[in-house]
Structures are given as C-alpha cells and as structure tokens.
Chain A
Amino acid sequence: MLLASGVLATDIEVAQTVGFGIIAALMVAAALNVVLSKNVVHAALSLVMVMAGAAAQYLLLAAEFVAVTQVLVYIGAVMVLFLFGVMLTRAKLGKDTDLNNNKGWALGLPISVLLLGVMVYVLIDGFDDTRISGSGAGKIGSTANVLLSDRIFSSYALPFWALSFVLLAAVIGAIVLARKD
C-alpha cells in the first residue's frame, strides 16, 4: 500500500499526474499513427505531436531548458527539414498505396519489447525508489540552467567537444556528398 511505504497523500501531485496521463495517452495514439498512417506527411505530422508531447512531459518535470531544446531542435528544425524533404520529393495527397508499412511488423514486436525492458531496467536500477522533489521546491529554473551550463563546460567539456567534432564532420560530409562539382 502507498501509505505504508511512507508516501503521504500530499506528496502526490494530482494536477501533474492527470496532465501526465492525458499527454501520455495522446503521445501513444500519435506514435501509433506514425507507423500505421497511409500517408507520409500525416505520419510526419503525428511524429511532431509525439515530439510536442515529449516537450510537455519535460515541462511537467520542471526541466524547462530540455523542453525548449526539444521544441527548437526537433519541432523547429528536424521535423521542418523532414517535411521539407518529403514535400520536395514525394508527398501525395490522400492514401499512398506503395507505402509498405505492414511488412515485417512481427519483427518489430520483440525489438520494441526488448527496448522497453532495457529502459525499465535502467530506470529502476538508476533511481530505485528515490523521490524527486516536485515543482513546489522553490525557484528551479535559473539554478537549473546555470547548473546545466556549468556542467557542460566543466566536467562534461570533453564529451561536448567530441560531439561537436562529430557534428562538424557530419556537416562537412553532407556538403561533400551533396556537391556535384
């Protein structure tokens, strides 16, 4: 029972929990539509819904910087480029008949179960039953931003540089591949 393990009724944040449930349900529905839709653009727009839902969940966790990054990078850049590419090449209106998204779906089932298992294991292994203090804990935002940037540019500076180099290499590679002359 919840009360027996020391969780008080006041610790449960009703509004956040209800919000999480609604957004999660919308995200699952949109995610299903991504793989089941018969139209490429509809699938991409559903993916936008999933991304926006993820951003909303981050906001509920008081991780505003991550939420805004999610919107800027995934919705504002990645999905726009994605849609741009799709519309430039093949974007039929209505149903697309040669969209073979039903073949080999059985293979996806064990893989997704496996991924779910790994994620659940990591979450339980990493956090056990630690309770993370909710949004009531004073002003989180500014300290969180400062902490995040301090971490990135001090203890995580090397991985940050490594990632930057990988991205730079990818950009140059893309230019080399795309240039005809």
Chain B
Amino acid sequence: MTSLAIFGADLPYWAQSLLRVLGGAVAVLLPAGTIVYLFLFKMMSFMQSRLGPMEAGPYGSMQLFAEVGKWLQKEDISPTRADKRVFRAAPLVVLMSTFLLVAVVPFGPDAYFTDFDAGVFYMLAVSSISTLGILMAGWSSANKYSLLGGLRAAGQLIAYELPMVLSVIGVVIQAGTMNLQQIVVKQNSDEIFGWNGIGFPYILTQGIGFLIFMIAVQAELTQTPFDMPIAESELVSGYMTEYSGFRFLIFFIAEFATAGVFALIASILFLGGWGVPFSWFGWAPAGSHEIDNWMNVGGPLIMLTKMMVLTGIIMWVRFSYPRFREDQLQRFAWKVLIPVSLVNIMITAVLKVAF
C-alpha cells in the first residue's frame, strides 16, 4: 500500500485510516444528498409539472437538512412482536454494503481508498450483502407485508445479480484485468485502430454489456420498473413498512448512495472513469507527477459528472415507467438478460483472441 502524503509529510497509520474513513463517508453521503435533491425532489417535480420544495432556502436547496432533521427527531419505534436485535441490525447491514462498495472505487491516479486487484470481483461480492439486510428486515418486522416484500426482494436480487456479473465479464476480458484502476488506465491509453482521439471507452464495444449492467443496477436498487418488492400501493413499502425515524433514514440513504456508487462503477467500467484520454496531454499512465496531481483534483469532478448523468438516467427511467409484474420480472432476467449476456461474453472472447 502506498503511504498517503499530504504536503510532503507522511501521515501516521491512524491518520491515514481516519482520512480514508472520512473520505468514504463523503463519497457515500455527498452523492446521496445530491441525487435526492436534484432528481428526487426537483426533477421528479418538474416532470410532474409542479415546483417541488421551494420554502427551505433558495429553490428549496436546504430541504434536505430539514428532512434529515425531521427523521432524526422521530421516535425509534419497533413492533412489539418484532425480533428486536435483527430488526435493528438490518438497516446497518444494508448501509455496510454501500460503504464496502465505495472502498474499491478509484477517483484519480492516487485518489483511491484501496488498489484492490480483484476489484471487479469484490464489487460484485459485497453488493450482494445488501440482500441479506433486506431479508433480515423483512423477517424481523413481524409483518406479513414486510416478509412478502423481503422475499420478493431476495428473489429479484438473486435473479438480477447474474446478468450483472455476466455483463461485467466482457469488460474484464477486454481489459485483461480485474483491477478497477487498471481498467480506467486501459480505457484512456488504448487506441481505436491507431486513432487516439478519445481513448477507448468500453461502451463502444461493450454497449450491450453496458445496457444489461444498467438494467441490472435498476433492479438491484429496486427502482421503479423493478419495484415489486417495495410496491407501496399493494405491499405498503414491503420490508421498510415497520421502519421509522433514523432507521428508515438509513435505508433511504443506502438506497440513493448505492445508486450513486453503482453509477460510479458503471462509469469506471464503461465510460473511462476518472480519466481523460491520456494522449491529450501526451501523458504516459502514471508518468508525469504534475499531471498526476491535477488529475487527483480533476478526476473526482469528472467522476461526479459521469455519475450525475448515469443516476439521472436511472431516475428518469424510474419516473417514466410503470411496474413490472412479478413473473414478467423473473422471466426478463432469466430468459432475456442472461442468454444475451452469455452471447456477449462468447463474442467478446472470440474477438479478443482474434485481434
């Protein structure tokens, strides 16, 4: 692990760890807040021909703080017959999955939490932990709706995890590495048949993979076309029914923070991540330190832009489409997405050997 140095001074281990934890908190909470305000409050309102929150701050920009303040003041209620310990632990398990996810996301040449070599594999593994938290929440609430919602969520997450895994394999084959940092470097230093104007973002060759990945992300986040597990009109919000106060807030934050983190990962895998094509600066990867330093500041901003575009698409789809029926949802995953992604892997492997 390279030691973190700020202004030339090497920090002790505890200070590095503290900085990493703080950085992780910022990388989880900042996108979550931005997504909720920009898309959930404002974009949804404009799409429905209304203004949305306008009172708190200019254009309602302080609404988020008011909401958080409201949730934190609420009483911490749990049903009498609920399994208290599991009930309390469930939202934390879901949020933990989000924090574990952000740990492998690289934001710049040196701006990463950990340079993990099995990064893609790790990302797919820890994203499945949230299923466990949802099952725990559904079961421990002592509520039929919650249990049904939890079971539906588990069935859906298992079904859509497979296309997600399979769609990423194409990128891994093309890059020849599972390290997310290396995947970014590859995309920005590769050339398209000798032309190096825009690097080689994998969306050009893995367009199908990108599409499947985004659909799977939509389903993993239980956003609207796939919101059977939390269908508020028939299941009264499914596994979240009995939660209130800050435990509901944790579920809420985890949902939108995970949307942000998945968008970051999608931008790394398919859109070139933090980088701009290296040939613009005549920059060999990790060569000149001056550009390295600039990219450590610029990289996170580029990532944030790409993340906002991708979460914008996720939210746009969420506000536009009606809900899938349970059997349609399962059939779509098993009979359409998985076969298509398998064919994609096969074609990618053949082309990789051919070129």
Contacts and interface: CB of A to CB of B under 8 A. Distances in A.
Interface of A: 39, 41-42, 45, 48, 64-65, 68-69, 71-72, 75-77, 79-81, 83-84, 87-88, 91, 93-94, 141-142, 144-145
B101 interface: no
Contacts of B86: 41-42, 45
A14 to B, nearest CB: 13
Contact of A75 (B132, B150, B178): B132
Contacts of A45: 86, 136
B140 interface: yes
A87 B135 contact: yes
Given A71-B129, A93-B140, A145 B135 contact: no
Contacts of A80: 128, 131-132, 135, 154, 157-158
A64 B131 CA distance: 22
A154 B154 CA distance: 37
Contact of A145 (B128, B151, B158, B178): B178
B118 A93 contact: no
A142 B117 contact: yes
15 contacts: A64-B118, A68-B122, A69-B125, A71-B128, A72-B125, A75-B129, A76-B129, A77-B128, A77-B158, A79-B132, A80-B128, A83-B154, A84-B158, A142-B179, A145-B117
B139 A76 contact: no
Contacts of B158: 77, 80-81, 84
B81 to A, nearest CB: 6
Given A42-B86, A141-B116, 6 more contacts: A68-B121, A80-B131, A83-B139, A84-B155, A87-B151, A91-B139
Contacts, number: 84
Given A48-B132, A64-B116, A142-B179, A72 B138 contact: no
Contacts of B138: 87
A45 B86 CA distance: 9
A49 to B, nearest CB: 11
Interface in B100-147: 116-118, 121-122, 124-126, 128-129, 131-132, 135-136, 138-140, 142, 147
A84 B154 contact: yes
Contacts of A75: 125, 128-129, 132
A70 to B, nearest CB: 8
A76 B158 CA distance: 9
B292 interface: no
B255 interface: no
B128 A76 contact: yes
B55 to A, nearest CB: 43
The secondary-structure label for the interface of chain A is helix
Q: How large is the interface on B (under 10, 10 to 19, 20 to 34, 35 or more residues)?
A: 20 to 34
B47 to A, nearest CB: 35
Contacts of B129: 71, 75-76
Contacts of B242: none
Which of A45, A76, A83 has the largest count of B CB atoms less than 10 A from its CB?
A: A76
B190 interface: no
A95 B161 CA distance: 33
A69 B154 CA distance: 20
Contacts of B326: none
B342 to A, nearest CB: 15
Contacts of A41: 83, 86, 139
B313 interface: no
A39 B131 CA distance: 20
Contact of B121 (A72, A87, A142): A72
Contact of B147 (A48, A87, A141): A87
Nearest to B122: A68
A58 B83 CA distance: 32
A81 to B, nearest CB: 7
B317 interface: no
Nearest to B82: A93
A155 B132 CA distance: 37
B117 A76 contact: no
Contacts of B178: 145
Which of B131, B147, B150 has the largest count of A CB atoms less than 10 A from its CB?
A: B131
A69 B177 CA distance: 17
